[in-house]
Amino acid sequence: MNVLIVDDEKSAIELLKKKLEKYDDIEVTASATTGAAGLQKLTGSYIDVIFLDVKLPDINGLEFITRMREKHHRCKVVIYSGFNEYMLQAFRQTAFDFLLKPVDDSELEVIVKRLRKEEEKRPQESSIRKQGLDRLLVYTNAVDFHIVNVRDIVVFQYNGNIRSWEVVIAGFDRPVRLKRTINKELLLHMDSQFVQVNQRYIINFNYLMSVTDNICHFYPPFDKIDYVVVSHLFRKRLIQRFNTL
């Protein structure tokens, strides 16, 4: 599991990092001392778990969770704080767990065990992640498959007739069907450049050229696509995604 630690005290980051080193399946891949820096660390990286302090110099940890969820990041958040009055509000903000400072080793172990159990429940997501953030394996029939670069994908679209997602890829004449076990959460988790614009469509933001009359228009080689509609529900999120660049 890849871990991000967000805490305004560098000494606290180093202490927690040292405690986590004893777990072979956990790697602290990033840290930040402000909320803004922590959110930036999530861009273009795959983080499974965030250990998040509540009191940060720019935003509080609970606001951090809200902003993170708006950008479709689904990683689990463990709030850790010296003030247990934040516990109830943390869970209302969909935190995975709460760890009180100073960190007790036995309490940390309980949380790690819970995280492991959750990971075991997500074999499909783990399979996607192991392929690497820049590649996706897609089957073209029952036995044949292609490994495609993420940068060659423009749209994931849900086909209600077959009840599964399809992917539109450069160089393919028609959309390629994905396994029925793959859902939108897994697709959005692959890379931060994928943004949902409709209940049925997830686009590669890097190819978006304009939105006219709520229709997405893309750069070549996808400039012939004219059916991807931005719904009212997702329009605000799309604009927010643009404003974070």
Summarised one tens digit per residue, pLDDT across range 61-105 is 888 988 887 764 568 899 888 777 666 666 666 788 888 888 999
Question: Are 27 and 2 contacting, i.e. CB atoms less than 8 angstroms apart?
Answer: yes
**In the prediction, which pLDDT does 187 show?**
85
**pLDDT cut 90: percent of the chain above it:** 33
Is the pLDDT at 225 greater than 60? The verdict is yes
* Beta bridge partner(s), residue 2: 27
- Rounded CA separation 17/115 (Å): 16
- Mean pLDDT highest for which of 97-101, 125-129, 145-149, 201-205? 201-205
**CA quadruple 194, 175, 123, 132: dihedral positive or negative?**
negative
> Would strands 153-159 and 201-204 be described as parallel, antiparallel, or unpaired?
antiparallel
The winner for highest mean pLDDT among 90-94, 121-125, 238-242 is: 238-242
| Mean pLDDT score of the chain | 82
Lowest-confidence segment of 118-122, 123-127, 155-159, 174-178 by average pLDDT: 123-127
- Is it the case that residue 123 has pLDDT exceeding 60? no
**HSE, side-chain direction, 13 A CA sphere, residue 19:** 19
CB contact set of 159 (below 8 Å; sequence gap of 6+): 165, 166, 175, 177
103, 16 Cβ separation under 8 angstroms? yes
In degrees, rounded to 5, the angle at the alpha carbon of residue 60 between the alpha carbons of residues 56 and 62 is 135
Q: What is residue 24's predicted lDDT score, i.e. its pLDDT?
A: 84
3-class secondary-structure state, position 2: strand
Q: Is the pTM of this model over 0.75?
A: no
Q: What is the pLDDT of residue 239?
A: 79
Question: 3-class SS at 55?
Answer: coil
Res 238: pLDDT? 79
Asked if residue 155 has pLDDT above 90, the reply is yes
Q: Which sign does the torsion angle of CA 82, 83, 87, 90 carry?
A: negative
In whole angstroms, how far apart are CA 27 and each of 43, 49, 59, 151, 160? 18, 10, 26, 27, 39
- What are 26's two structure tokens? 């956990």
